[in-house]
Structure 1
Amino acid sequence: MREVVAELRRLAVLAVPLALTQLGNMLLGIVDMLMLGRVGREALDAAALGGLWSFAVLTIGMGVVLGIDPFIAQAHGAGDGRTLGLSLQRGLVLAALVSVPVVLLWTLAGPGLILLGQAPHLAAQAHDYVLAQLPGAPAVLLYVAMRSYLQGRGITSPALLVMVAANVVNVGLNYVLIFGALGLPALGAVGAGISTGVVRVVMAATLAWLIVRRGLYHGAWTPWSRAALDREALATIVGVGLGIGIQLALEIWAFQGAMLFAGWLGDAQLAAYTIVLNLASCAFMLPVGIGMAAVTRVGNLLGSDRPREADRAARVALALGAGVMSVSAALMFGLRRVLPALFDADAEVYALAVASLPIAATFQIFDGIQVVGFGVLRAMGRTRKAALVNFAGYYAVALPLAYWLAFGRGEGVAGLWWGLTVGLALIASALLAWIAARPPSTAGKIALEQR
């Protein structure tokens, strides 16, 4: 029991700042929605659809970069400073390379949304919202690489400081650009997009400055060389990262696919779905932080040849994820009439959001288990088969059921949330069974690159 308590403490020390950082990242979007809600339903819907397209594309790129996670975590546990430095360098190289297709796909936002059945006038505004963010695409990928480097070494405060500053800057820029101030015109959703792009550039530049200024690379660096461009090493990272990217994308696309269904139901249903999704996503950042801590903790222990302790860390992390989301579920249900009111929506949208929020509360525990479970698998480097779990849960069950309930049974946006709940329950159960059958101690170390 003493070991469990000690492990819980170590995970909490890592998870709390990571969760707060993720919450801060989520708040960037939440603030956009809150402020655009005061502009009108159309601006809110356009930003929601633009965010759907941009993040759906960005997720794959982020996943590729996150392929450095197990290499960094295990190298830190093994005390291998050279691999740590090379992994960061290769992550930065991949971030630059991946940003090219991401930017190209972002420029197709409007036509893509029209092909997905969205209203042309909303698709046009969403297109402009995405184009305004273009400079932020490579910046956010570079930021992800640097954050993963620090996180794998147990250094969490710099990213949190950057995120706090980013939120302050975002509020100020949003006010000026969305509503018009300081002699600038009111730009609505486009103003929010410009603010997001600028903030992402500032985040990447500030985190790089902190790493250099504070010497956070000491003991975990090697001079830049051709080794950073080694094709086989990059391919190894991409192999792990694609599994992460596909797993993340399948999850995010499922919720965004349900958003498209909501758009087919009508503007009010789309706005209500967006409000509930933002609230659920905000709560989701807590277990995301725990899952990230599990990547670091389990990876460090595997790298230092302590497989039994890695098993214990995985079990404690899963229990902690379920525990915090139990509290989240209770709060979401108890505050179901209060939380939607924060978005200042009209009466119809508010009523739909209030009716949907208890359903979203139902899947909180499942959501906590699945995200921590995927973190454990990422620490082991087992990412490709994990994507199959998401595919089966979301696309064989959740989305077909959500569509049938929403349109076939006429339950509207509530049916969408029930379908997603069933899918999440199946995914969480599958991951628990998988980790129980093949815990971290069965994985051992992944091949650390030395080229």
Structure 2
Amino acid sequence: MSSAIPIRFKPHDRVLETSNLLSSSYHLSSSPIAQEIIAQEIIARDLAECSSPDDYDSGDEYFDHGGAGTSTLVSRPNGVAYGTIRPTTITEAAGSPAVNTRDLAQSRDAERSLLRDNHILPPKHPRHPDESAFRKLYRRLFSTKVTPPNDIGPLVSSTSTKALENTPLLQEYIRPVSPTESEEINRWEAAVAANVIKTTWQREAQTLTQYSRSLIVTFLLHYSVTVTSVFTVGRIGRLELGAVSLATMTANITCYAPVQGLSTCLDTLCAQAFGSGHKRLVGLQLQRMTILLWILLVPIATLWWFSGPILTKIIPETETAELAGMYLRVLILGTPGVAAFESGKRFVQAQGLFHATTYVLLIGASVNIFANWFFVWQMGWGFTGAASAVVFTQNLLPFLLFCYVRFVEGMECWGGLSKKAFGNWGPMIKLALPGMIMVEAQYFAFEVLTLAASQFGSAHLAAQSVVVTVTSTTFNIPFPLSIAASTRVANLIGARLSGAARTSAKVALVAGCLVGLFNCTLLSTFRYKIPYLFTKDEEVAKIVSEVLPICAVLQLVDSLAAISHGLLRGIGRQGIGGFTNLFSYYLVALPISFSTGWVLGWKLEGLWFGIAVGLAVVSTVELWYLYVADWDHAVEEAEMRMRSDDGYDPAEFK
């Protein structure tokens, strides 16, 4: 993930400047150059067909923060698919979003905080002369200030130097001097150039908490739709609980993973359209992807309609397979909403409106709980009522997102329905396929466990449903933390602060260990209580309680694997993490799972033991790579990419 470099275009440069729409991309499945060429082709065709001047917004929303040499602390998470079993990261968007007013304000705040920590700006809150002993102890333990250097040196131009000379840099401030915004920018650039910006674990812990807290809420809210369904069905019976697990596995592989993977190409296309000032093209890309996904749903719906007979030929428990087929038939009605919401998320995120999804999910998750109670118990629909609640929520979410855009913010990127949405599909599909393949590959490695568990009987399949739900819920804590760590490290690398990036990485790994230990302790302590939250079946509860100790150990390596993979994305090495994950899942985890599950007769415990070993391999390999990685070289590569994006010749930096 690269620092976002603002790009400004003029109306008459719309087609000629298309090649500058992209920042370097980091793709797991294909070369960055190939991805850029495809994305350029899509945008160029759309721009050539646009004749309305309204497609271009020449307002002052975009700012140039110094060109290629700028060291801004702005970056956005992208290429994230989440909402069903385990969230995944696919690729980084090939086009860095333009820096809007909100991003710029966040960047300036981050820069200002680091300048204060390094005594280059006066403190926000000067120390009181009559400070209490408790306050002194608190400041000593949690102060974000670095140890004052002996000499900061000439950091800025003469105008700003005068301000610095009149400011007591090496002592506590009594009357803070507030420099102008331009002076702050000059001091930041000069301090970065002089390599005097440091950070502390307190500052990085505070920043990672700030970045991740809303993400954790968003991920948990989105996954709560699945959790609520499992909670409800578990109260009905063992067969129904196993059927939900089987139906969800089928839905993930055949629909949700392809939809999520294909829609991630909008991270590139919408970001480029918005970043170039052609806001109406963002809405065009949304329409085009939504129509494509809806067409894709036709064969998927056909498959789901006849899934009952198909599953009965694979699953020993005929009744469970038939119930799963019934569940999937109802879910067909929710697939248009899933496709629309996946595209809609990218539409608002390209505009920097990440909080829009959180607000929508906050309402949607609450309504989903009510819908499950109403359809299952009040209406007496039972098993099909749980599926109906999921369908209702899946269609509610895009409607709520539409209401947010229509009545709150984001409408400026919607130009109305357009016939152009039915053209220029070929390059878009070519750009989207790598993301779909990667999501499918990561999902299938875990979903195959459900298919394997079904071979052991209905009790083990029901237990698998509980175990997957529990482990997926706990994973929605370290995964958002990994996104926050990736963003922060990418920001610092983009600002040429390798030392600060290493400090942030260490803090993130410690945080990952703490989260893993917390989850491990939680599952170990309540291993006999957790099963009864989902089911009253004694046999199922017993199987779950036997598997949870393995899942508890898995929490630590799973958390470390998530954090280390996020850090690799932050330094532009996510390809290492992507291939390591696939290698460990398919060549280590699954063979061990099948061997211990069937050959040794460990059944469900054996399946999850193999996954634990595979994740241990992932975390070990990625941590070792982070340990030996040259972070200074990552800074040089980031600077080459940024300068290349702004029209410089990268060869001059070799």
| Aligned equivalent of 2:327 | 129
Amino acid at match of 1:90: Q
Deviation of 1:251 (Å)? 3.0
Which residue is equivalent to 1:408? 599
- Aligned residue for 2:157? none
Alignment of 1:133-152 (within 5 A): 133-151=331-349
In structure 2, give the amino acid aligned to 1:175. Answer: W
Q: Does 1:419 find its partner at 2:610?
A: yes
Task: Label 1:233 to 1:371 Cα distance change in 2 as closer, same or farther (>3 A).
Answer: farther
1:96 and 2:291 matched: yes
Residue-by-residue CA offset, 1:29-70 (whole Å, 9 max, x unaligned) = 111111111211111111111111101221122022123446
- Post-superposition Cα deviations, 1:170-217, rounded to whole Å, max 9, x if no partner, equal 2222223223x3xx4x33332211211121111111112213322246
Superposed CA offset, 1:278-331 (max 9, x none): 1111111112222343565566677xx425469556665454334322211121
In structure 2, distance between residues paired with 1:281 and 1:174? 20
Alignment of 1:54-203 (within 5 A): 54-57=251-254, 58-69=256-267, 80=275, 82=277, 86=281, 89-90=284-285, 93-109=288-304, 110=307, 111-151=309-349, 155-179=353-377, 181=378, 184=379, 186-203=380-397
Q: Is the CA contact (8 Å cut-off) linking 1:56 and 1:253 kept in structure 2?
A: yes
Q: Kindly tell me the number of residue pairs found equivalent between the two proteins.
A: 435
- Gap runs ≥5 in structure 1: none
- Residue 254 of structure 1 corresponds to which residue in structure 2? 445
| Cα distance, 1:103–1:282 mapped onto 2, change above 3 Å | farther
Distance 1:404 1:202, change over 3 A: same
How many Å separate the matches in 2 of 1:384 and 1:85? 33
How far apart, in 2, do the equivalents of 1:106 and 1:434 lie?
43
Q: Which moved more, 1:145-154 or 1:251-260?
A: 145-154
Q: CA deviation at 1:120?
A: 3.0
Structure 1 window deviating more from structure 2 (95-104 vs 170-179): it is 95-104
Task: Give the alignment of 1:383-394 within 5 angstroms.
Answer: 386-394=577-585
Contact map agreement 1:82 1:222 (CA 8 A) in 2? no
In 2 relative to 1, CA 386–67 (structure 1 residues): closer, same or farther, beyond 3 Å?
Answer: farther
Amino acid at match of 2:235: R
Residue 51 of structure 1 pairs with residue 245 of structure 2: no
Q: For residues 153-182 of structure 1, what are the alpha-carbon distances to aligned partners after superposition, in whole Å with 9 as ceiling and x for unaligned? A: 664433222222222222222223223x3x
Distance verdict in 2 for CA 1:117–1:420, change over 3 Å: same
Shift of 1:354: 0.9
Relative to structure 1, is the Cα distance of residues 84 and 356 closer, same or farther in structure 2, using a 3 angstrom cutoff?
farther
Please tell me the root mean square deviation across aligned C-alpha atoms, in Å.
3.5
Tell me which protein shows more helix as a share of its residues.
Answer: 1
Structure-1 separation of matches of 2:643 and 2:314: 40
In 2: Cα distance, 1:192 partner to 1:266 partner = 23
- 2:566 paired with 1:336: no
1:15 paired with 2:212, answer: yes
Equivalent residues of 1:246, 1:387 under 8 A apart: no
Query: Any idea what the Cα deviations from partners look like across 1:16-37, whole Å, max 9, x if unmatched?
Result: 1211121122221111111111
Q: Does 1:306 align with 2:509?
A: no
The alpha carbon displacement at 1:236 in A equals 6.8
Letter matched to residue 203 of structure 1: L
Q: 1:116 and 1:435, CA in 2 relative to 1: closer, same or farther beyond 3 A?
A: farther
How far apart are 1:71 and its partner, in Å? Answer: 7.0
C-alpha separation between the residues in 2 aligned to 1:52 and 1:121?
A: 17
1:26 aligns with one of 219, 223, 228: 223
Shifted more, 59-68 versus 306-315: the winner is 306-315
The amino acid across from 1:252 in the alignment is Y
Partners of 2:421 and 2:509 lie apart in 1 by 37
Counterparts in 2 of 1:222 and 1:173: CA distance versus 1, 3 Å:
closer
Structure with greater Cα Rg: 2
Q: 1:427 offset after TM fit, Å?
A: 1.9
Change (3 A) 1:430 1:33: same
Counterpart amino acid of 2:253?
A: A
Offset, 1:231 = 5.2
Please give the per-residue CA displacement for 1:243-294, whole angstroms capped at 9, x wherever unaligned: 4x43433333222211111111111111112112111111111122223435
TM-score calculated relative to the size of structure 2: 0.59
Deviations 1:379-419 (A, max 9, x none): 78877775433321111111111111111111121111111
Comparing 259-268 and 437-446, the one that deviates more: 437-446
Instruction: Give the 3-state SS of the residue equivalent to 1:349 in structure 2.
Output: helix
Q: Provide the C-alpha distance between the structure 1 equivalents of 2:437 and 2:427, rounded to a whole number of angstroms.
A: 20
% identical aligned pairs: 25
Pair 1:298–1:247, CA change in 2 (3 A): farther
1:286 counterpart residue number? 477
Q: In the alignment, which residue of structure 1 is the partner of 2:41?
A: none
Q: CA deviation at 1:96?
A: 3.3
Give the conservation status (yes or no) of the 8 Å contact 1:118–1:260.
no
391-400 or 376-385, which deviates more? 376-385
Cα distance between partner residues in 1 of 2:483 and 2:331: 26
Worse overlay, 434-443 or 88-97: 434-443
Paired residues of 2:597 and 2:604 also in contact (CA < 8 A)? yes
